[in-house]
């Protein structure tokens, strides 16, 4: 009976939290039946210390690490700091964060305990040698099954089975996929230096939980960034609306049968050119463009049109953008090309004259 419980506890220490709880119940029941059995007490203590207490401590450290990561700020800083936080929480010497790009594993950030220079050099080498995820890599299986694992030489030839082995030279490592919105977007890898404590289920589960926390922090940071962009866009729209309302309130109202035709005749430009500009610009932008072509400054245009100089600047910016030009000179050139363009006669177009 004791031998069976010993094997069960050994399996539970490498299994899930549910396995640990089930093993604990079995050992406790055996101790109730024979409280003086020294071997049972030893097994029980090992199960508590390495199976329950160690996991609780690790998960608490992971929770604190994720909390610190949430205070990092921008997305780039979250990525850069994630490996160091994972290493500190799980007492790992190296942690690598990679993203999945069209089936390739691409290194993003690396932490090497006590050696930032080595980390930078190794990261550069990893970025130059992305790894295609697929058979026979263990990462391909982890990606498909969406679970973490402790990988050792017993899992197959390192050269062919372990991602980045040529550079990292893992002897054993823990790997956990990073999920966002229900899909695997990256991986976390971690190991210890030779002679360090062996990697167990505590590190496997801890790195998995850290990956979950990292995903939540990263997604929130991305959403915050998107909201900032949206707010900026809304401010631009509000500014545009303010300019348009200024147009409506400041513009003079004329009595004319066909304003577009009248303006074209007064300016000496073909109606087709006026129509082309009106298709591209608002009426007030056309007015501003005409004064701009004359070489007037923003202040002069503002005085002529009886609007603020800020409104003129707003219209000039929109004119350059809509005409796809970089400056006033280019806008003037395009304006003149439109103004000087004359529609071909029927005979020029190949249409027979009556």
272-330 residue pLDDT tens: 455 667 778 888 888 898 898 888 999 899 888 888 888 899 889 988 988 888 888 88
Whether residue 197 is predicted with pLDDT greater than 70 in this model: the reply is: yes
What does the block give as tokens for 198? 């062996």
Half-sphere exposure of 154 (CA within 13 A, CB side): 3
For residues 151 and 127, is the Cβ–Cβ distance under 8 A? Answer: no
Mean pLDDT of 106-112: 97
Pick from 206, 208, 165: which is nearest to 187 by CA? 208
Rounded to two decimals, the pTM is 0.63
Helix (H) or strand (E) holding 303: helix 298-305
Mean pLDDT of the chain: 83
Highest mean pLDDT (candidates 163-172, 262-271, 301-310): 163-172
Helix (H, G, I), strand (E, B) or coil at 40: helix
pLDDT at 175 (0 to 100): 97
- From residue 345, give the alpha-carbon distance in Å to each of 270, 342, 348, 349, 350: 14, 9, 5, 6, 9
Identify which has the larger pLDDT, 33 or 342: 33
Question: How far, in Å, CA of 352 to CA of 311, rounded?
Answer: 50
Higher-pLDDT residue of 349, 138: 138
H-helix or E-strand spanning residue 99: strand 94-101
pLDDT over 50 at 343, yes or no:
no
Q: What percent of the chain has pLDDT over 90?
A: 40
Residue 332 has pLDDT above 50, yes or no: yes
Which pLDDT does position 351 carry in this prediction?
A: 34
Least confident of 12-16, 162-166, 290-294: 12-16
Helix/strand/coil for 352: coil
CA neighbours closer than 13 Å in the CB half-sphere of residue 16: 6
């Amino acid at each position: 009976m004791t031998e069976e419980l010993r094997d069960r506890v050994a399996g539970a220490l490498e299994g899930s939290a549910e396995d640990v709880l089930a093993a604990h119940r079995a050992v406790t029941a055996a101790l109730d039946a024979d409280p003086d059995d020294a071997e049972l007490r030893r097994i029980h203590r090992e199960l508590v210390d390495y199976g329950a207490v160690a996991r609780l401590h690790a998960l608490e450290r992971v929770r604190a690490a994720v909390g610190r990561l949430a205070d990092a700020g921008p997305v780039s800083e979250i990525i850069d700091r994630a490996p160091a936080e994972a290493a500190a929480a799980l007492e790992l010497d190296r942690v690598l964060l990679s993203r999945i790009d069209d089936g390739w594993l691409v290194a993003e950030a690396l932490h090497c305990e006590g050696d930032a220079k080595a980390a930078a050099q190794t990261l550069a080498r990893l970025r130059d040698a992305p790894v295609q995820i697929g058979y026979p890599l263990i990462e391909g299986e982890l990606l498909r099954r969406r679970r973490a694992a402790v990988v050792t030489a017993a899992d197959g030839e390192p050269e062919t089975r372990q991602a980045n082995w040529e550079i990292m030279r893992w002897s054993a490592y823990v790997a956990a996929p990073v999920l966002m919105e229900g899909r695997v977007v990256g991986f976390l890898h971690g190991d210890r230096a030779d002679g360090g404590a062996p990697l167990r289920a505590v590190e496997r589960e801890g790195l998995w939980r850290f990956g979950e926390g990292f995903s939540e922090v990263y997604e929130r940071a991305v959403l915050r960034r998107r909201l900032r962009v949206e707010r900026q866009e809304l401010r631009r729209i509000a500014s545009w609306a303010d300019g348009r309302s200024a147009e409506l309130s400041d513009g003079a109202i004329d009595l004319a049968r066909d304003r577009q035709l009248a303006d074209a005749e007064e300016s000496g430009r073909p109606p087709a050119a006026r129509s082309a500009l009106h298709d591209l610009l608002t009426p007030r932008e056309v007015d501003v463009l005409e004064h701009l072509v004359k070489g007037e400054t923003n202040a002069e245009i503002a005085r002529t049109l009886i609007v603020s100089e800020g409104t003129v600047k707003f219209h000039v910016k929109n004119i350059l953008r809509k005409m796809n030009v970089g400056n006033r000179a280019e806008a003037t050139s395009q304006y003149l090309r439109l103004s000087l363009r004359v529609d071909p006669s029927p005979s020029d177009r190949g249409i027979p004259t009556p």
